[in-house]
Amino acid sequence: MTRFKIYKELTNGISGTKKPLIALSFLKLWALGIGIIPPLLYAYLINSVMIGKNINKLWAIICAYILIYILLTVGIVLSKKFSNRLILKYDIKIKHMLLKKYTTIDSMSYNKFSTGDVKSRIENDTVVVESFFTDYFLEFYYDIIYSFVLAIILLCLNWQLALLSLIFIPMTFVVVNFLGKKTKQAGEKLWKINTKYETFLHMTFQNWKDVKINNLEDKLFEELNVYYKKIRRIWFLNQIYWHLGLSFSFFQRNFITQMFLYFVGGLFVIKGYSEVGTVLVFINFYGQFYDLIKNICDSIIRLKNDSVNIEKVIEILNLETEKKANLPIIDGNIIVENLSFKYQDNDEFVLKNISFEVKNGEHLAIVGESGSGKSTIAKILSGQIIPQKGNILIGGVDINAIDSKSISKKISIVMQEPTLFNLTVRENLLMVKPEAKDEELTECCRKASIYDFIETLPNKFDTIIGEKGVKLSGGQKQRLSIARAFLQNNDIIIFDESTSALDSEKERDIINEIKNLSKDKTLISIAHRLSTIQSCDKVIVIKDGFIMAEGTHEELKGKNENYDFLFKKQYNNWYRKNMSI
């Protein structure tokens, strides 16, 4: 991928880079023009003042050097100002763009990226991307232009010496290009292993309780050492290629090119083909010229290495995001027709030709053994995953034809393992309704039977609950999540085993509140307790991805073997009592 192509990809949809780059380009030309003058003054100093012994011209040369210093300093200050403005603005915009891309792609696409992958692209890879504009784009083309200008000057000073000295340049680019390819290959391997390492660390910290309980510390340290060894080996190989390129450039300049120039230049002076001042100026200019060639070579190697990170960012920027309509869903009627779904890389369908209907205001219970597909239905209805076959209509609208915002305005989902953040209780609640007043927070927490607990916390609603709500018990996390659903007040609420960690009394209180709240709301409960199921208007029994039975609790008990099987072991006493009636 060429530098102009990379620039186009990185600025697609991101404004604010052109003006600073144009300003920096003018300042570079400013530096280029001024940078040519000192060697010419140096030649004038040698030929006129030292050899010609015209001491009166020395003061003019000194004043010229001071002026050049001032002008270059002004240029450097302005360059820093515009480059910092460019980097800071772009940093905010590119991270915002990446986050927006990640949050607007469908869940199946998102699942392709691990936690370490996402973290690396947003935090680490963007740092490399920011330096592209100044280091790999502006500086690179400035060095090329400046090197051409100096090459012309060298030819004008002494074309024979210039041609002899330029024969070493092609060899430099051949070696550097070869080492650059090797550096990129090593860089790709290093990026992949670093991503796995980041994911491993994230998983370890997220599940530290399980690590402690199961005494997995030694096992994790062993795995950590494996990552360290792999990273160290690949990083070392990457550094070898990198420094070989730098060492070659240094050796060629200091031990081949300059020695050659001093030898041939000295012969030119002795033979009378050139003046001493001209040869010294030539060597000075050639030193600048070769520094530019070295910078170009370094840029080629570094870009080969950093292109791994840059391409990872471009990959996300080019992801297709949702382009579905934002349409309001009028009511809570749900119709599911011939629904089939299988997870990525799985051959077997989890759901097979599922069809059912929930009318506005009804309470549906979905029951079944673990792995039967209950939670998959909840994910599909809430728009988290897209089925391969079938239609889902909510309020007469096909949810596969509308964007996720339209769905989230209509449906709330409360999971068995709620999504909570390392923020305060208040902030976790306000995520669904930022404008909510304290009175609303209090009311929804009372309904979810968690208000009394919040009042016992050190800072009450302003208490931080830890990563994933680690400072709360399982039941407290579920009740806080239910309170958040109450606050959101959507027309459809899906409860995915969301009261499994509660005792029977708390569950009964919350169910009563749900009933009072949901007179006109559509409820879907994925549950296993009879206390939840008995009060539902309809029950669906799922087994191996199929609907095996449908009806009320009274219609199914004792008449459907799949339904009875789910509860006999858990509720033997209840079944013996009710079946004898």
Mean pLDDT is highest, among 48-57, 220-229, 256-265, 412-421, for: 412-421
* Residue predicted with more confidence, 377 or 223: 377
Quote the pLDDT of residue 503.
57
For residue range 497-521, what is the model confidence (pLDDT) as tens digits?
A: 755 555 555 666 666 666 666 567 7
Q: Pairing between strand 492-496 and 411-414?
A: parallel
Quote the pLDDT of residue 530.
63
Pairwise CA distance, residues 527 & 374, whole Å: 9
Q: What is the mean pLDDT of the chain?
A: 76
Instruction: Give the chain's radius of gyration (CA, Å).
Output: 35
What is the pLDDT averaged over residues 105-132? 69
Q: How far is CA 438 from the centre of its chain?
A: 34
Say how many C-beta atoms besides its own lie within 10 A of residue 171's C-beta.
12
CATH number of 3-317: 1.20.1560.10
Answer for the pair 224, 232: CB distance below 8 angstroms, yes or no.
Answer: no
**Measured CA angle at 528 (ends 451, 537), to 5 deg:** 85
Please determine, for residue 407, whether its predicted confidence score (pLDDT) is greater than 80. Answer: no
Give residue for tokens 């023009």.
Answer: 33
Quote the pLDDT of residue 303.
80
Quote the pLDDT of residue 255.
58
Quote the pLDDT of residue 410.
78
Quote the pLDDT of residue 580.
47
* Residue predicted with more confidence, 427 or 284: 427
For residue range 5-28, what is the model confidence (pLDDT) as tens digits?
A: 887 888 877 777 778 888 888 888
For the chain, how many residues are written? 581
User: What are the Cα distances from residue 84, in Å, to 8, 80, 87?
Assistant: 20, 6, 5
What is the pLDDT averaged over residues 167-184? 71
Tokens of 550: 């449908």
For residue range 313-347, what is the model confidence (pLDDT) as tens digits?
A: 787 777 776 666 666 677 678 888 888 888 777 77
Quote the pLDDT of residue 12.
79
Given 3-state DSSP classes, what are the helix, strand and coil percentages for the chain, each rounded to the nearest 5? 65, 10, 25
**Measured CA angle at 441 (ends 438, 445), to 5 deg:** 145
Quote the pLDDT of residue 115.
62
* Residue predicted with more confidence, 246 or 361: 361
* Residue predicted with more confidence, 338 or 107: 338
* Residue predicted with more confidence, 125 or 508: 125
- β strands within 212-254, DSSP E: none
Quote the pLDDT of residue 581.
42
What one-character DSSP code corresponds to residue 400?
A: G
Tokens of 405: 């915002």
Torsion angle, alpha carbons of 453, 459, 462, 467, to 10? -70
What is the pLDDT averaged over residues 231-252? 68
Nearest Cα residue to 537 out of 521, 548, 515, 553: 553
Pairwise CA distance, residues 131 & 568, whole Å: 65
Which regions of the chain carry the CATH code 1.20.1560.10? 3-317
Backbone angles phi, psi at 352, to 5 degrees: -130, 105
Please determine, for residue 484, whether its predicted confidence score (pLDDT) is greater than 80. Answer: yes
The sign of the CA dihedral 71, 72, 77, 78 is positive
Coil, strand or helix at 413: strand
What one-character DSSP code corresponds to residue 339?
A: E
Quote the pLDDT of residue 571.
55
Pairwise CA distance, residues 114 & 199, whole Å: 7
**Measured CA angle at 132 (ends 128, 134), to 5 deg:** 125
Answer for the pair 124, 197: CB distance below 8 angstroms, yes or no.
Answer: no
What is the pLDDT averaged over residues 343-352? 79
Nearest Cα residue to 186 out of 245, 242, 229, 228: 242
Which regions of the chain carry the CATH code 3.40.50.300? 324-410+521-581
**Measured CA angle at 407 (ends 403, 412), to 5 deg:** 150
What is the pLDDT averaged over residues 244-267? 64
% residues pLDDT > 70 (the chain): 75
Edge-first strand order for the sheet with 351-358 is: 351-358, 334-341, 389-394, 397-398
Pairwise CA distance, residues 381 & 336, whole Å: 9
Query: DSSP per residue over 281-343, as a string?
Result: HHHHHHHHHHHHHHHHHHHHHHHHHHHHHHHHHHHHHT------B-----S--EEEEEEEE--
Residue 207 pLDDT grade (very low, low, confident, very high; cuts 50, 70, 90): low
Coil, strand or helix at 149: helix
Answer for the pair 42, 284: CB distance below 8 angstroms, yes or no.
Answer: yes
Q: Pairing between strand 363-368 and 538-543?
A: parallel
Quote the pLDDT of residue 519.
66
| Amino acid at the residue 1 | M
Answer for the pair 130, 313: CB distance below 8 angstroms, yes or no.
Answer: no
In CATH, what is the architecture of 324-410+521-581?
Answer: 3-Layer(aba) Sandwich (3.40)
Answer for the pair 495, 524: CB distance below 8 angstroms, yes or no.
Answer: yes
Query: DSSP per residue over 516-575, as a string?
Result: HHTTTSEEEEE---HHHHTT-SEEEEEETTEEEEEE-HHHHTTT-HHHHHHHHTT-HHHH
Please determine, for residue 572, whether its predicted confidence score (pLDDT) is greater than 60. Answer: no
Quote the pLDDT of residue 502.
57
For residue range 276-325, what is the model confidence (pLDDT) as tens digits?
A: 667 777 777 777 787 787 788 778 777 877 777 777 778 777 777 666 66
